[in-house]
């Protein structure tokens, strides 16, 4: 029987598609850049100088595989999922006389290495001729903390990424702490408490936007949400002063698209929201999400 050979054009399209998919998985976050220089020593000196001022920095250096035009040593501080947070922090640094700017950084996966072969289809065709796609694990992102506090001496709210820059007498009155990245370890279906992990720490968070659950949440709904969140980096904003007796803090979790996890849960019919605890410009989003979940009888609305 005559063998049929895969059209070379189709084979090329498959390879291009695989490569495009590999690069389409890029993830973005925002940092505040303090310097870009071709001299490693200059970058380290800048980092040391910022450290003496209590500003924690990190240095991005050129990879051996990068082009010469991109071979700069970049001194950066902070890491944010949302650009406006980075811009607020940059404004705070500029008010201290520090020249800086916000940059978009790509968290790139390692380039997918592919081996594609044209497969001959015919008598006794072998299943051994397969495309092989491998991908190395990403290097984990460093955990960045951002603190928002009020200083009565100048009557202003300050933002900093270093606890050391906050006067000791004001550290007990920090208004808000932001942590990025964090990952969800567990969601309690009875209390909706979210257990987070970041670095070597864990923390339980009660989402401020949600009402306490008064209905039984189907286990499959919780499992579906945990699968959706598995391995994804989120940003936590919480209020240290609002810590309950069980050690849980009140706060919000943000997905990469800027939406809160609470809104996603309302969309899925897992929870309902508290209008008093949602920002006024987001209330219509929560209400529309709740009404849609009700109409479609999702999760807690199944028997409504």
Nearest-angstrom CA–CA distance, 75 and 237: 25
195 and 86 within one domain: no
Nearest-angstrom CA–CA distance, 11 and 116: 8
Q: Is 271 buried (19+), middle (13-18) or exposed (0-12) by CB count in 10 A?
A: buried
CA 82 vs CA 28, 181, 203, 257, 259: distances in Å: 9, 12, 22, 8, 10
CB 269 within 8 A of CB 298: yes
Backbone φ and ψ of 43, nearest 5°: -65, -45
199 and 295 within one domain: yes
Q: Is 267 a member of any domain?
A: yes
Which pLDDT score, from 0 to 100, does residue 7 have? 58
190 and 277 within one domain: yes
CB 112 within 8 A of CB 22: yes
Q: Is 245 a member of any domain?
A: yes
Domain that holds residue 193: 180-301
Domain harbouring 262, CATH code: 2.40.50.90
pLDDT, tens only, 196-241: 999 888 999 999 999 988 888 999 999 999 889 987 889 999 999 8
Other C-beta atoms closer than 10 Å to the C-beta of 233 total 18
Q: Is 238 a member of any domain?
A: yes
200 and 292 within one domain: yes
pLDDT at residue 62 above 60? yes
CA 293 vs CA 112, 252, 287: distances in Å: 39, 21, 10
* Average confidence (pLDDT) over 29-38: 83
Q: Is 39 a member of any domain?
A: yes
Neighbouring residues of 259: CB distance < 8 A, sequence distance ≥ 6: none
Buried b (16+ CB within 10 A) or exposed e, 29-60: bbbbbbbeeeeeeebeebbeebeeeebbbeeb
Which SS3 state, helix, strand or coil, does residue 162 take?
coil
CA 155 vs CA 144, 152, 166, 180, 255: distances in Å: 26, 5, 14, 28, 32
Tokens found for residue 104: 């978009």
Give the range among 43-52, 151-160, 232-241, 250-259 with minimum mean pLDDT.
Answer: 43-52
Q: Is 165 a member of any domain?
A: no
**Hey, which residues does 73 pair with through a beta bridge?**
37
Length of the chain: 304
Reference 159, options 102, 100, 95, 203; nearest CA is 95
Name the domain boundary from 107, 123, 138. Answer: 107
Alpha helices in the chain (DSSP H): 8-24, 40-52, 83-95, 219-229, 261-267, 283-295
Other C-beta atoms closer than 10 Å to the C-beta of 15 total 14
Which pLDDT score, from 0 to 100, does residue 202 have? 92
Nearest-angstrom CA–CA distance, 250 and 53: 31
Nearest-angstrom CA–CA distance, 238 and 253: 9
184 and 85 within one domain: no
pLDDT at residue 64 above 50? no
295 and 185 within one domain: yes
Name the domain boundary from 84, 107, 130. Answer: 107
Name the domain boundary from 107, 136, 161. Answer: 107
Q: Is 235 a member of any domain?
A: yes
Q: Is 204 a member of any domain?
A: yes
pLDDT, tens only, 184-205: 999 999 999 999 999 888 999 9
3-state secondary structure 22-53: HHHCCEEEEEEEEEEECCHHHHHHHHHHHHHC
* Average confidence (pLDDT) over 170-191: 91
**Hey, which residues does 149 pair with through a beta bridge?**
158, 174
Q: Is 273 a member of any domain?
A: yes
Q: How confident is the model at residue 37 (pLDDT cuts 50, 70, 90)?
A: confident
Domain harbouring 60, CATH code: 3.30.70.1070
Count how many domains the chain has: 2
């Amino acid at each position: 029987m005559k063998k049929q050979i895969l059209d070379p054009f189709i084979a090329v399209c498959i390879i291009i598609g695989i490569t495009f998919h590999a690069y389409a998985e890029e993830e973005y976050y925002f940092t505040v850049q303090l310097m870009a220089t071709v001299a490693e020593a200059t970058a380290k000196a800048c980092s040391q100088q910022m450290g003496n001022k209590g500003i924690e920095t990190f240095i991005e250096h050129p990879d051996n595989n990068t082009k010469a035009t991109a071979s700069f040593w970049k001194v950066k501080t902070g890491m944010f999922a949302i650009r406006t947070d980075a811009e607020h922090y940059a404004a705070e640094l500029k008010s201290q006389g520090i020249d800086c700017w916000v940059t978009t950084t790509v968290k790139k996966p390692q380039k997918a290495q592919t081996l594609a072969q044209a497969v001959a289809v015919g008598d006794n065709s072998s299943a051994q001729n397969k495309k092989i796609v491998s991908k190395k694990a990403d290097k984990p992102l460093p955990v960045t903390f951002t603190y928002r506090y009020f200083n009565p001496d100048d009557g202003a709210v300050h933002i900093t990424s270093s606890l050391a820059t906050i006067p000791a007498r004001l550290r007990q009155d920090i208004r808000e702490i932001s942590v990025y990245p964090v990952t969800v370890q567990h969601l309690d279906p009875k209390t909706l408490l979210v257990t987070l992990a970041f670095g070597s720490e864990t923390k339980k968070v009660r989402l401020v936007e949600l009402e306490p659950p008064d209905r039984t949440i189907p286990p499959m709904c919780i499992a579906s949400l945990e699968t959706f969140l598995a391995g994804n980096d989120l940003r936590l904003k919480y209020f240290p002063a609002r810590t309950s007796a069980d050690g849980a803090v009140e706060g919000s979790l943000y997905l990469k698209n800027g939406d809160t996890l609470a809104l996603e849960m309302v969309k899925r019919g897992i929870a309902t929201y508290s209008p008093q605890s949602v920002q006024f410009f987001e209330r219509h989003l929560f209400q529309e999400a709740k009404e849609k979940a009700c109409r479609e009888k999702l999760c807690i609305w199944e028997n409504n």
